[in-house]
Copies of this chain bind each other. A is one copy, B any other.
Amino acid sequence: MSRKVPKHIYLTEDQMPKQWYNLRADMKEAHDPYIHPGKMVPVELDDLTPVFCTELAKQEADNTTRYFDIPEGVQDFYKIFRPSPVIRAYELEKALNTPAKIYYKFEGNNTSGSHKLNSAAAQVYYAKEQGLTSLTTETGAGQWGTALSMACAFYDMPLTVFMVKISSEQKPYRKAIIETFGAHLIPSPSNTTQIGRKILEDHPGTGGSLGCAISEAIEKAVTTPGCRYVLGSVLNQVLLHQSIIGLEAKMQLEMVDEYPDIIIGCAGGGSNLGGIMAPFMQDKLAGTKNPYFIAVEPASCPSMTRGKYAYDFCDTGHVTPLAKMYTLGADFIPSANHAGGLRYHGMSPMISKLYHDGYLDEARAIEQSKVFEAAKFFAKHETILPAPESAHAIRVAIDEAIKCREEGTAKTILFNLTGTGYFDMQAYLDYNAGKMTDYIPTDADLAVGFAGLPKIPGIQE
């Protein structure tokens, strides 16, 4: 029996996008500029190039160029693991008995297990082109570290990964896969950097944090000749690369005459949400379509739903530029929930701006027990075991589909299934054993983070 819309909607290799889309070119207002942490004035391109590859620094600063050509060397890499399918969730729809049509873009069918490879490929390619001789980065949950180690193996680029110490201990197999692809992995904080030694001195026995690891990775990059730092989320350049998700998804839905009424992405630093959202947000900004966007974050780390829209450091060590974003404060330490990729105090400045200005319609915070309930339900029916991060989007997609059933409306829902949970089985073990608790910070917990927000003369007092 042939059906009008197949389960998997693929693009051919020839149909794959050859340009990334820069949503900033169509935003009504640019996000507020980064502020130099020393000079306390907006950063210039020259401030960025000691830290980032030159081409990536240019992309970071460019608010006007609408499309960037994807270099052939990156396209070749993309062809190895892309295009990714858009999948019609027929089985989930049936199990929910909903009139809604649910689609998901599945970015997990590569060894890194997530969409992170889209930006890793681009960043390593540019580093190689520039003649750099090594890179550093940090990783928390390990998806970014894996993706970057894969890209570095492919392009022959030495890589040092600072992995949040507690995470490297809890996920020995994440560590193993990163090392299998040839990267040098250092649990953070470490005694290999000045900031690491200071953190260890101040907090002996600490398990580390993403903020600490970022500080160490940046220090190593700026103190090593021919080395630069690369980051897997938050930045404009990353959202630019991730636009491939939305560009493909939009084409795939057009092929089956669909346009989403609701678009859902989980939100940690904002990379996947920014990616899937981009071309649909373009329509919304142009006034030609009006999709409803939902960002989903963990209740334990609610930067959009309970954070402040303020200038803040991107890292714990306060070495990065300041970004205007929704933040819980760089000093806020989220509880140890199981969606490591969403445990970040801030949010992409672009996404923050779109949310603040009302174009990103809604942010929703979900407790992790509800997230895992949705993950297991999804796995049973769609047969894919999702990453805990991705399951945040699944939870809201299910909730919206149930609402459609109750209201008798047949909306078209698109969510981004960013990755698989194969390296997150400890989380599923805990859930299966009933050992999962939902931590929701109190207002007093949040006040600690807010108290540490930086003062910027004339801008943020």
Contacts and interface: CB of A to CB of B under 8 A. Distances in A.
Q: Which 10 A-B pairs have the closest CB atoms?
A: A173-B425, A6-B13, A176-B425, A422-B422, A153-B380, A176-B429, A7-B79, A111-B385, A180-B428, A109-B109
Task: Name which of A72, A79, A182 has the most chain B CB atoms within 10 A of its CB.
Answer: A79
Given A376-B180, A423-B422, A432-B176, A8 B13 contact: yes
Contacts of A181: 379-380
A14 B2 CA distance: 6
B7 A154 contact: no
A154 B420 contact: no
Instruction: State the main secondary structure of chain A at its contact with B.
Output: helix
Interface string A171-213: 0110011011110000000000000000000000000000000
A444 interface: no
Contact of A383 (B150, B380, B382): B150
Interface string A73-106: 0000001110000000001000000000000000
Nearest to A72: B1
A428 B179 CA distance: 9
A140 to B, nearest CB: 18
B420 A111 contact: yes
Oligomeric state, in copies: 2
Interface in A145-174: 150, 153-154, 172-173
A383 B176 contact: no
A66 interface: no
Contacts of A426: 173, 176
Interface in A378-395: 379-385
A424 B385 CA distance: 17
Nearest to A425: B173
A420 B108 CA distance: 13
Interface in A387-434: 420, 422-423, 425-426, 428-429, 432
A177 B385 contact: yes
Given A2-B13, A150-B383, 7 more contacts: A153-B379, A172-B425, A173-B425, A173-B426, A176-B429, A180-B428, A422-B422
Contacts of A422: 111, 113, 173, 177, 422-423
A302 to B, nearest CB: 27
Interface in A1-57: 1-3, 6-8, 10, 12-14
Contacts of A432: 176, 179-180
Assign chain A's interface to a size class. 35 or more
A80 B111 contact: no
B80 A428 contact: no
B110 A177 contact: no
Interface of A: 1-3, 6-8, 10, 12-14, 72, 79-81, 91, 109-111, 113, 150, 153-154, 172-173, 176-177, 179-182, 376, 379-385, 420, 422-423, 425-426, 428-429, 432
A9 to B, nearest CB: 10
Contact of A425 (B10, B177, B380, B384): B177
Contacts of A13: 2-3, 6-8
Nearest to A431: B180
Nearest to A8: B13
A455 to B, nearest CB: 46
Nearest to A376: B180
B6 A380 contact: no
Contacts of A384: 110-111
Given A8-B13, A173-B425, A177-B428, A81 B111 contact: no
Nearest to A109: B109
A380 B182 contact: yes
A6 B12 contact: yes
A316 B172 CA distance: 34
Contact of A81 (B177, B180, B383): B383
B10 A10 contact: yes
26 contacts: A1-B72, A2-B13, A2-B14, A3-B13, A6-B14, A6-B79, A7-B13, A7-B79, A7-B80, A80-B91, A91-B154, A110-B383, A110-B384, A111-B379, A111-B384, A154-B383, A173-B422, A173-B425, A173-B426, A177-B422, A177-B425, A177-B428, A180-B379, A180-B428, A180-B432, A181-B380
Contacts of A382: 80
